Structure formats: structure tokens, C-alpha cells
Chain A
């Protein structure tokens, strides 16, 4: 494997950037999709009716940014490590709703978040060994 770039080109930094953009895009897309929801409309099952919302377009921009940095990540990090780590977004979304929107988080949800954090820690541990090898 070629030398791993540092600074902004560091694949781990790009992974974090990708996750952050997915997080922002998910909130934007959900808001935009809800604003334009009209199941009676023809073609609504394809999702294209969501394009009527500017929030969806903004969401798409974030999707594209996350996609480009994700492609870059794929070049350097095995999928079995990068993909599970990218699911940190699954706890960022509920935490973001709690922090920014003041939504309540139940005990069961906290347990789920804890499980994901433990899973991420277990997954990230081989990363240290991977870094040594590179």
C-alpha cells in the first residue's frame, strides 16, 4: 500500500468529514421529504417528488460532498472497518435531535446508543494495529 497522506488528505479525517456531511444531509432530507410528502401523487414512490423542496437540494449537496470524501476513504481503508465506523452517524442523529431540538431520549434509546459506542470501540481497535502495519 502506498504512503498514507497526512493533513487534510488523511483518510481518517476524511472519514470524519464524510460522516458529518451524512449527518447534516439526513436531517435536511428528512425535513425536505416531510415538507413535500403527498403519497397520492403519481411517481411519489420513486422519491422524485421530494426534489420540489429546496432543503432536499441542499441535502443533495451534502450527500455529494460526503460521497467524494467517502470514495477517498475507500481507497485507503478496508470496507470491513470503514463502513461500521461510518455508522457513528446512527447515534449522531438522535444525539443531534436531543441537543439541538430538545427532543427527549428514552432509557432504551440511551442503551442502544451505548451499544453502538461499544461496537465502534471494538471495531476501531484493530485500526491501531492497521496503522502500525502501514
Chain B
């Protein structure tokens, strides 16, 4: 694995996590204000943009590496998103949810190593 692939893997992960958080924000705003508002459109566009970058970076990585090799990094997204949702979206991250996220991450990593 070259430095470039590591950077691309991390970039794909970061854009994915950022996109998810922004999309969650966008959809939350629709609960109160509905779909026809500029804030929702802006957030949705921003989220889709980030997810698109992540999608094509992942596609490029899939051309180089096995799906199983890229899996641990996808697994990491579980714990990263849980923590970021708690920090940035002020969602309640209980001990139970943390343990669940850690178990899923460990399981995904184990699946990809075998």
C-alpha cells in the first residue's frame, strides 16, 4: 500500500462521515420546517456532494484492492460516526450504544482479516 492509497482511503472515510452528519442535519431541519427551505437545500446539496466524492474515491479504491481489504476502514466508520453524532449533533451516546458500536467495529475488522 502506497502513501497515496492511504490518503485516498482516509479521504473517502472523512468525506463519508462528514456527508452523513450533514445529511442528518438536513433531514432534521425538515421535521419542523418542511422540504421547501433554503437551509435544507443547501445542507442536502453539501451532503450529496461529499457522499459523491466518497463514492468515486471508493470505486477507485475497489479497482485496486479487494473489498475485504477495504472493509476494516468501513467498519471504523461505525465508531467514528457514533462519536461525531454525539459531539456535533448532541445525540445521546449511552454506554450501551458505545459497547454496541465497538463490538460491531471489532466484528467487521475480524471478518475482513479472515
Residue of B4, B28, B94, B107 touching A113 (CB-CB under 8 A) = B107
The answer, yes or no, to whether A106 is at the interface (CB within 8 Å) is yes
How many A-B contacts if CB must be within 8 Å?
171
CB-contacts of B55-91 with A (<8 A):
55-64, 67, 71, 74-75, 77-78, 81-82, 85-86, 89, 91
Scoring A78, A84, A118, A124 by chain B CB atoms within 10 A of each residue's CB, the highest score goes to: A84
Cβ contacts under 8 Å, B63 to chain A: 33-34, 36-39, 44, 47, 49-50
Q: Are B111 and A91 in contact (CB under 8 A)?
A: yes
The answer, yes or no, to whether A99 is at the interface (CB within 8 Å) is no
The answer, yes or no, to whether B101 is at the interface (CB within 8 Å) is yes
Residue of A71, A94, A108, A120 touching B104 (CB-CB under 8 A) = A120
Q: Are A80 and B114 in contact (CB under 8 A)?
A: no
CB-contacts of A44-77 with B (<8 A):
44-50, 56, 63, 67, 70-72, 74-75
Given A1-B31, A2-B31, A47-B60, CB of A106 within 8 Å of CB of B114:
yes
Cβ contacts under 8 Å, A126 to chain B: 94, 96-97
Chain B: CB-nearest residue to A67 = B51
A49 to B20, CA, bound (A): 25
Residue of A36, A49, A109 touching B111 (CB-CB under 8 A) = A109
Residue-wise interface mask of A (98-125) relative to B, using a CB-CB cutoff of 8 A (1 in contact, 0 not): 0000000111110111111111111111
Given A44-B63, A46-B57, CB of A112 within 8 Å of CB of B104:
no
B residues neighboring A (CB under 8 Å): 4, 8, 20-21, 23-24, 26-28, 30-31, 51, 55-64, 67, 71, 74-75, 77-78, 81-82, 85-86, 89, 91-94, 96-97, 99-114
Question: Could you give 13 example pairs across A and B, Cβ below 8 Å?
Answer: A37-B64, A46-B57, A50-B63, A72-B27, A79-B24, A79-B89, A80-B91, A80-B92, A84-B97, A87-B108, A91-B107, A94-B111, A105-B114
